[in-house]
Amino acid sequence: MNTITVNKKPNNFIVVGHKGSFGNHVRLLLLLSDQFDFTSNKSYSCANTKLEFIIKQVYNQERTWNNWLWLEGQWRRELEKLVPFAHNIRSKSQMKRVILLSDPETAYRSYIKFSSNLDVATKETFLSYCILYNENVATLSTNRDIVTTSSELFQEELDQDWYSSLVSKLNLTNEYEHANKLHRHWYQLHKKAERDMLADLTHLFLDK
C-alpha cells in the first residue's frame, strides 16, 4: 500500500489547474525543496532521495497512455498531505493558491492520450471549459495567489526562470538541478506514452 507520513512541510498552499495543465507535475517539482520532509518506508528529506523516490515510485517506467491516470491515482491521496491539488478554481480555500494557466489546445493534446473520451466530454466542451477557467482566473484570483502559465512546461528542459520565480514566491529552496532531471524524466514518459498509444492503436485497428 502506498503511504506517506509527513515529517515537515511549509505553510500550506494549494496548486490549482484544469485537466491537462500539468498540475500534478508542478506539485512534484515543488516537493523537491528542503521544506518538505516525508517518510514512505524510509525517510526522504533531501532533493536527491526525493528525486529517486518520485522516479521509482510515482513516475515509474510502467507509465504509459492507458495507465497514467490510474497510477497517479495510487499516490493522489497521499500527496495531498504534502501539497493539495484541485481542478476547480472556485474551490474554497484559505491557503495561498498556485493557479496554473494553460493553453487549451496544449491541455487537450496532453489529456486526450490518457482519457480518450475526455472524462465523458467532447473536444469542444473540453476546450470551452479550459477557456472559461482561464477567464475566471482574472476575476477569482486574489493578491495572495500566484498565477503562472504551465503550457511552457511541455518541453524537455525545465524553464529555469519559470521554476526559480515560482519557488522564490513560495519561499522554497531552489533545487533546479534535481527539478530539471525530474522534468526530463516526466517529459520522456509523456513522449513514450504518445508512441505507445500510436503503436497500440495501429496494431489494434490497422494491422489486421
Domain-located, residue 193: yes
Domain-located, residue 28: yes
Cβ-contact 139, 90 below 8 angstroms:
no
| pLDDT value at residue 121 | 86
d(CA 208, CA 200): 13
Domain-located, residue 1: no
Domain that holds residue 163: 7-205
Domain-located, residue 159: yes
Domain-located, residue 2: no
SS (H, E, C) 127-193: HHHHHHHHHHHHHHCCCCCEEEECHHHCCCCCCHHHHHHHHHHCCCCCCHHHHHHHHHHHHHHHHHH
Number of domains in the chain: 1
Q: How many CB atoms lie within 10 A of CB 190?
A: 19
> DSSP state, 124?
H
With a cut of 70, which residues of the chain have pLDDT below it?
Answer: 1, 91-93, 208
Cell triple for residue 1? 500500500
The number of helices, as runs of H, and strands, as runs of E, in the chain is 7, 7
Closest CA to 81 of 7, 22, 161: 7
104-139 pLDDT, tens per residue? 999 999 999 999 888 888 999 999 999 999 999 888
